[in-house]
Copies of this chain bind each other. A is one copy, B any other.
Amino acid sequence: MIPLDDRGLLLGDGLFETVLARAGDLVALEAHLERMGAGCAVLGLPAPDPAAAEALMRQALAGAGLQASRAAVRLTLTAGSGGRGLDRPADPAPRLFATAAASQLPTTPARLVTSSIRRNADSPASRLKTLAYLDNVLARREAAQAGADEALMLNTRGEVAGAAAANIFWIQGEALFTPALECGVLAGIARAQVMARAEALGVQTIRVRAQPEELARAQAVFLTNSLIGVRAVSVLDGAAFAPSPLAEQLAEAMA
């Protein structure tokens, strides 16, 4: 339970990570904790102690009886308790907690629609997993109402940013493309893993500032995040994409 004066609750002042657990193995835990620490530096908060964070996550897994399962473990850091208003106390004491839930791989490719809500490329929060995630919630809600699985979000400059809860890649010719971080994109851990795996297969990933037309012209499109690994996109705004041998290879490598 969290007190009513928590700044994460009141203002979205905090960060989270979602880590895949496979039979008790917290996948890429170090990268997740490093990213949370880097986010804390941007927000001006002390980073959590990695050992304490891991202990909380293992407790959450055990508490949910998911040590032997495929599970999502969410680590949440709030800026802690504070007084009224926007200003943090002089010496903020972050609050850290973890929760765990079963997580299955999706069995179908994703159908996407472009959201009317854009990612704010003029805020550092657009490159972090913050507790102020309402735009993503609303974009996903819009997608669901349109019968889609996920929302494609452009940024406020009209460039491709990503999906509401995933990074996006597309294949064109011999190359793989993904939006540059400056587009208002989370430095996804699965994104980095996919780029490394593609490189091992001899495929360059070009980080770009791309207009949505470039995505629409792609041969194949896929999403990545820590829980789903690689998920093919079958449809974007009604236009279909073919399955891609490269995307399937990357999906298998990440599964």
**Cβ of A164 < 8 Å from any Cβ of B?**
yes
**Cβ of A80 < 8 Å from any Cβ of B?**
no
Q: Which of B84, B101, B133, B164 contacts A74 (CB 8 A)?
A: B84
Instruction: State A130–B138 Cα separation when bound (angstroms).
Output: 12
**Cβ of A122 < 8 Å from any Cβ of B?**
yes
Q: Which of B3, B16, B117 contacts A122 (CB 8 A)?
A: B117
Task: Take A1-B4, A6-B9, A72-B84 as given contacts and tell me if A123 and B137 are in contact as well, using a CB distance cutoff of 8 Å.
Answer: no
Q: How many positions in chain A have a CB within 8 Å of any CB in the partner chain? A: 55
* Cβ-defined contact, A86 with B136, below 8 A: yes
Task: Take A123-B118, A138-B124, A156-B156 as given contacts and tell me if A97 and B4 are in contact as well, using a CB distance cutoff of 8 Å.
Answer: yes
* Cβ-defined contact, B99 with A83, below 8 A: no
- Give chain B residues whose Cβ lies under 8 Å from the Cβ of A43: 134, 138
**Cβ of A197 < 8 Å from any Cβ of B?**
no
**Cβ of A234 < 8 Å from any Cβ of B?**
no
Q: What are 27 A-B pairs at a CB distance below 8 A?
A: A2-B4, A4-B76, A4-B97, A5-B99, A6-B9, A8-B9, A9-B9, A10-B131, A10-B133, A12-B131, A12-B133, A12-B134, A12-B137, A84-B99, A84-B103, A87-B140, A87-B141, A117-B122, A118-B120, A118-B122, A120-B120, A120-B135, A125-B134, A125-B138, A130-B134, A132-B132, A132-B135
